[in-house]
């Protein structure tokens, strides 16, 4: 079964005709990616809570019909099944899709080189991903997670080499400290090697800690942010709240003690707030949660990664494209979910000591650019 890619900018069948998928440039490149990215971690039922291939095909069709062209997987997802399914579903329209996958997580736990960011791991993982995906190249190749044992110089040079071979077109990095990413980009720029174009990080109303360092860094270095977990692993879908029974057929429930640890009082109160805003405006909680992430563009270029186990779930998610939260709604959610930035961000005396009595008279070019 092949997924069909629709070039029309209008939603066909599944979605409101008022919705039009827009596109963003990936980092300092000319590559156009849809404003939502389809995450394929749920493709394949090998882990006990994913979707079978037939349902994956329906999900990809719905995303393509909506104008989506950006799909993200990883060699590790469902033991490689996700890559195989994605590759088969987009094969007939491969050139239309911006296909991204990731490496570094250990695929062979007994092998010390079965994972990691080093060159041997990269070469082996890339060739295996190309085979599973049934393609000659990957549009965006992500470093899945920080490997503290691999020198940054080795990583950046190896990534540049695979770009020069034509097997990879663009590169990005995920789940890595800001200082490591900054160091890597500085080296790439100085040495004329391929720089990162994107950054994958978790971002949602439940987890805003990336606002301290990672989002400001991404904005300063012109990295497009692919935000994973915008629904908090399912907690912001409307099925959870302080007034609701715990469902048993969710990913949170399937992950046992780890999932249960996510259901803290504060997180459930945030779910309550999202549920309330959704009920008041006649939207779904998922739509409100994703609309909030989309509303944070002043912090950088942000593309939410959305996943689903059923076509209907994705169709609901796509409805977020029609929602623009009001200032009152944004303020309610802000008051409940804001975090303390910590030192030195909230060192209030800093600006006064630098600017003296002139702080209010100085225009910040960064703020001007963000609101333009």
Which segments within 211-295 are labelled E, that is strand?
224-228
9 Cβ partners below 8 Å, 6+ apart? 20, 21, 67
What is the per-residue pLDDT for 179?
Answer: 98
Rounded distance, CA 231 to CA 228, Å? 9
Full set of structural domains in the chain with CATH: 23-347 (3.20.20.100)
What is the per-residue pLDDT for 365?
Answer: 66
Of the two residues 134 and 368, the one the predictor is more confident about is 134
pLDDT tens digits along 154-188: 999 999 999 999 999 999 999 999 999 999 999 99
pLDDT tens digits along 109-140: 999 999 999 999 999 999 999 999 999 999 99
Catalytic site residues? 77
How would residue 364 be classed by pLDDT, with cut points 50, 70 and 90?
Answer: confident
Rounded distance, CA 91 to CA 124, Å? 22
DSSP-assigned letter for residue 90: H
- The average pLDDT across 29-47 equals 96
- The average pLDDT across 268-287 equals 97
What is the per-residue pLDDT for 347?
Answer: 80
Q: For the packed helices 53-65 and 81-90, what is the interaxial angle rounded to 10 degrees?
A: 50
pLDDT tens digits along 284-303: 999 999 999 999 999 999 99
Per the prediction, the chain carries an average pLDDT of 90
What is the per-residue pLDDT for 4?
Answer: 45
Of the two residues 169 and 360, the one the predictor is more confident about is 169
């Amino acid at each position: 079964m092949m997924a069909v890619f629709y070039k029309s900018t209008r939603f066909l069948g599944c979605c409101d005709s008022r919705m039009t998928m827009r596109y963003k440039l990936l980092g300092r490149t000319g590559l156009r990616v849809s404003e939502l990215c389809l995450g394929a971690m749920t493709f394949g039922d090998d882990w006990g809570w994913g979707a079978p291939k037939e349902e994956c095909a329906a999900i990809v069709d719905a995303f393509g019909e909506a104008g989506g062209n950006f799909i993200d997987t990883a060699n590790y997802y469902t033991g490689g099944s996700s890559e195989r399914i994605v590759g088969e579903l987009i094969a007939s329209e491969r050139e239309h899709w911006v296909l991204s996958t990731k490496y570094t997580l250990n695929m062979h736990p007994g092998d010390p080189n079965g994972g990691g960011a080093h060159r041997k791991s990269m070469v082996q993982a890339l060739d295996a991903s190309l085979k599973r995906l049934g393609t000659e190249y990957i549009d965006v190749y992500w470093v899945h997670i920080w490997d503290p044992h691999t020198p940054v110089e080795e990583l950046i040079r190896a990534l540049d080499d695979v770009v020069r071979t034509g097997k990879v077109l663009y590169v990005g990095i995920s789940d890595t400290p800001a200082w490591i990413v900054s160091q890597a980009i500085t080296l790439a720029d100085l040495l004329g090697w391929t720089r990162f174009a994107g950054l994958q990080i978790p971002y949602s109303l439940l987890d805003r800690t990336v606002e301290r360092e990672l989002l400001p860094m991404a904005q300063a270095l012109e990295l497009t942010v692919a935000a994973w977990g915008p629904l908090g692993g399912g907690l912001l879908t409307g099925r959870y709240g302080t007034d609701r029974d715990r469902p048993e057929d969710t990913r949170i429930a399937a992950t046992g003690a780890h999932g249960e640890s996510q259901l803290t009082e504060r997180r459930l109160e945030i779910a309550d707030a999202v549920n309330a805003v959704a009920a008041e405006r006649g939207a779904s909680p998922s739509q409100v949660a994703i609309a909030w992430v989309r509303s944070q563009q002043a912090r950088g270029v942000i593309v939410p990664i959305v996943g689903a186990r059923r076509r209907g779930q994705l169709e609901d998610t796509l409805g977020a494209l029609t929602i623009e939260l009001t200032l009152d709604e944004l303020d309610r959610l802000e008051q409940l979910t804001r975090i303390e930035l910590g030192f030195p961000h909230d060192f209030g005396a800093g600006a006064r000591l630098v600017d003296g009595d002139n702080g209010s008279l100085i225009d910040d070019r960064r703020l001007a650019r963000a609101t333009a």
